[in-house]
Amino acid sequence: MNEYSGQELRLLKDKVNTLFNSNPNWKVVGLHIKEKNGQLTSDIAITLIVDQKLPVNEIDSNDLFPDSITIPGLSEPVKTDVQVGPTEFKALGCYTLPTPGTDDSGWAMPVSGSRMTHRPLMGGIGCTTIPPNGYGGSVISAGTLGGFCIDLDDNTIVGVSNNHVIGGNQVRGDMTLTMGYAGQYSAHKNDYHQTYWSILSTNDIASNESIPHPIFQQPETHYPVHQRTSWDEYTSSYGSGSTGLSALKVGTVKRAYPLTSSNNKIDVAIFALDTTINSMSALISTTESWKQYLLDYDTPMDFATTAEIDSLLTTASGSPVFRSGRTEGPVGWPGSDPYGSDGRPSNVGCSLSAYGVTDAANINYGGNIETIGYVEQIFVRGTTDPSTGGDSGSFVCGLFNEGNPSLSAWKIIGLLFAGSDAGNYMIANRIDNVASMFNLGAYKGETLDIGYKNVDIKVIDTRQSAVTARIGGKMYWQAGSTNSPATGRFDT
């Protein structure tokens, strides 16, 4: 097996990204173990994934993948490979679910457990925000609360999911709203005559101030986050008291990392826990909330390091992987109690493994965003569908040093956000990128504050393309564009 240093792997990752962006017909490029006659070899290769292999004479010369690639800084040319696999992927937030039923009595464990109300909260259970058509609209939604982290900006405990699950698909720059539902772009008016300028100031009323809000009466300052989902509650009504989604509110969206047209690395949003709920212990338990629902493991998990994630590439058959989500429930190997105790053969039909750690692919978000490019992603494959709509936001966990009980440990390796139409493949943001780009740390049961600290919301009056802005010595995250005309496209 070729061995590369951390610096050499960085050069390989950069080359994968360059190749992916150089040809729109190369839909998936990554580092994989080279195959020969269907068998794994001992070589790491820059790999092109295709729907099917064609004879060389049937391939346009511009689309031929090189036999080897020379990279400055590496002593030898890097081998390449072409493998058959999925090339179409979509984000796994669920906004087009079937018509709601009337009760959940037909659901069976373990899936039913991921869809229920949980207090205290933990990772691997359903969550949602304002339904895409607004409260009382015709569309309901479902996603997954991946787990809890420490927001290192203010040292508070925050919940973590995807931008496209709880962040309303926040994008960089200003885009025309044509879908007609709330939560999609940096600045728009919703059905209740409110202007949403950014994820941090969702109810700043900039016009029609004489029109009272029909639900909140008083402005709600951030997107609410609910647990369980509007799909599982069979309603898109806000309600009041103990009815509707208001009874399921656990916090409000704190910030989301905006999407761009290409070279995305993360799809993440965090929410602050609601301080008005009786006490911290009503939502968070220092002994329970760091857990993944139904993962049979009782030690708080660290984030895997960059080197550990990279090492999954050379682990035989990939690392054992587990994730728990709203729709498929707990999936993975060695799995969880229900998979070994309810009569089904243990580890049969639900095994997962990480086999790519720096893959680049296009992801279809639908709507106006459509397809955008991602780089440096973890690819996970399984013996059955490892994820589907509503599982977005799940933490993906890997078992390291599996063969050595004294050293073995589960660690968080990624944040699930997409999967293949063909099934058997899911894609996760690398947790090292999530942590460094979003300033998060692993939550392992510490007693810390919840809610917001030192919040000072500002609406910026000029067009902003940067992800952050520093005002008065403070850092502010993407705030959209208040006065510029809509462009109908991503800023470049």
Q: How many CB atoms lie within 10 A of CB 155?
A: 12
Q: How many CB atoms lie within 10 A of CB 249?
A: 18
Residue pair 184/196 in contact by the 8 Å Cβ criterion: no
For the segment 151-205, what is each residue's pLDDT rounded down to a tens digit?
Answer: 998 899 999 999 999 887 777 644 332 222 233 333 333 333 333 334 333 333 2
Handedness of CA 322, 111, 126, 451 (dihedral sign): negative
For the segment 471-485, what is each residue's pLDDT rounded down to a tens digit?
Answer: 656 666 654 444 444
| Strand ranges (E), 297-420 | 321-325, 329-332, 352-364, 371-382, 395-400, 409-420
Q: Residue 134 is encoded by which pair of tokens?
A: 């607004």
What is the pLDDT, as a whole number, of residue 102?
Answer: 67
Tell me whether residue 312 is exposed, middle or buried, using C-beta atoms within 10 angstroms of its C-beta: 0 to 12, 13 to 18, 19 or more: buried
pTM, entire model: 0.83
Taking the alpha carbons at both ends of the chain, their separation in whole angstroms is 40
pLDDT at 230 > cutoff 70: yes
Query: Quick one: average pLDDT of 215-226?
Result: 58
Nearest-CA neighbor of 32 among 334, 359, 278, 280?
359
> Regarding predicted confidence, which is higher, 478 or 227?
227
Residue pair 235/100 in contact by the 8 Å Cβ criterion: yes
Phi, psi of 30 (to 5 degrees): -165, 180
342 confidence band (pLDDT: 50, 70, 90): very low
Q: Which residue has the tokens 């037909």?
A: 106
The secondary structure of the chain in percent helix, strand, coil, rounded to multiples of 5, reads 10, 30, 55
What does 95-159 look like in DSSP terms, one character per residue? SSPPPP-S--TT--TTHHHHTS--SS--BSEEEB-S-TT-TTSS---BEEE-EEEEETTTTEEEE
Nearest-CA neighbor of 8 among 65, 76, 82, 68?
76
Phi, psi of 194 (to 5 degrees): -110, 145
Residue pair 313/31 in contact by the 8 Å Cβ criterion: yes
